[in-house]
Amino acid sequence: MRVHIWTADTAGSGWYRGHLTATALSWLGHLVSAGMRLPRAPLDTIIGCRIAMPGPSRAWRELKDQGVRLVLDLDDDYFHLDPSNARAVEVWTPEMQLSLAANLAISDVVTCCSEPLAEVLREFADDVRVVPNGLPAQFLGTPRDYQAEGRPLYVGWAGSGSTIAELPLAVRALNRISQYRRPGGGEVMVRLVGITPEDAMARGMKGKQVGALGWVPHPEQYVRDVVSEFDVWCAPYRDIAFNRAKFPTKWLESSMLGIPLIASDIEPYRRVIRHGETGFLVRYEHEWGRYLKQLADDPELRQRIGMAARAEASGSILQAVQFQWDAVVQRPAEVAT
């Protein structure tokens, strides 16, 4: 099959739903390209990521007329945006939402990353399939130092300008743990990835033990070299419709790397975390501090939680997800044969 994945960006979404999907399909023998431009060569199938703007929408209709199999992929709920994400609200006007709905309706298949998002999209399309994110199996082998002897313990948070509104849920606990001295005198340092120091201070983060590393432009480097340095990972999320439709990407990344995760007790994280076994789920603000201190104090607990999470994540490797993408790009008669 000649397949092109028409990505909407070069950031995390473009990597997970574009680059990695192309890699997975190429393993199965498909001729795959990926990028933000349409190729001139003829195609059998195109996977278009969040097609809604006027130019791409016209091209989408033309491809339909040409008989190309259209797969429209979404990994966020653009029909239930939160007002705190001012940039998204500005871009995703009612007109853009109507355009997206029309493109969903003419697509042969609609793919998304979670069942709650699929429930939203089934209002606009008949064939909606959930294809989760995956990471290459190589990340399962990343070594971990659970003892953290002779060095600071790193507590991490990762986000962006669009998710910084989630950070205040855990700010008090992160500030407190950054001042904590572990048994034996070890320091704890907080690392915020994806936002600037100015953004961190504006949200209440403070102290010399807190560092904001800014945006990491290359997603593979972000996973391989940046967040892999976390000893404990915090993933606070408000219980809003937009977040409930998300894929638990922080769980995927932390678990593949064997990092114990503390996450808000909302969909989608309560679906994938067994509280106290493969991570911790937070219902009340004071629990952030409790679980952070437990993990900071106890290297054996960090190892037990991290290794259990890693074992769970072994079922989410890209080599398993590839077969779901294979079924999506092929026409029904081709799948049957």
Q: HEC string of the chain?
A: CEEEEECCCCCHHHHHHHHHHHHHHHHCCCEEEEECCCCCCCCCEEEEECCCCHHHHHHHHHHHHCCCEEEEEECCCCCCCCCCCHHHHHHCCHHHHHHHHHHHHHCCEEEECCHHHHHHHCCCCCCEEECCCCECHHHHHCCCCCCCCCCCEEEEEECCCCCHHHHHHHHHHHHHHHCCECCCCCEEEEEEECCCHHHHHHCCCCCCCEEEEECCCCHHHHHHHHHHHCCEEEECCCCCHHHHCCCCHHHHHHHHCCCCEEEECCCCHHHHCCECCCEEEECCCHHHHHHHHHHHHCHHHHHHHHHHHHHHHHHHEHHHHHHHHHHHHCCHHHHHC
What global pTM score does this model have? 0.95
pLDDT in tens, 244-296: 999 999 999 999 999 999 999 999 999 999 999 999 999 999 999 999 999 99
Q: Is the pLDDT of residue 161 over 90?
A: no
Q: ∠ CA(202), CA(261), CA(289), 5° rounding?
A: 55
Q: Is the pLDDT of residue 37 over 60?
A: yes
Q: Is the pLDDT of residue 222 over 50?
A: yes
| Domains of the chain, start order | 2-134+318-336 (3.40.50.2000), 138-316 (3.40.50.2000)
In the prediction, which pLDDT does 184 show?
83
Is the separation of the CB atoms in 64 and 70 below 8 Å? yes
Burial of 35 (C-beta count, 10 Å sphere; 0-12/13-18/19+): middle
User: What does the alpha-carbon distance between residue 150 and residue 127 come to, in Å, rounded to a whole number?
Assistant: 54
If pLDDT is split at 50, 70 and 90, which confidence band does 185 have? confident
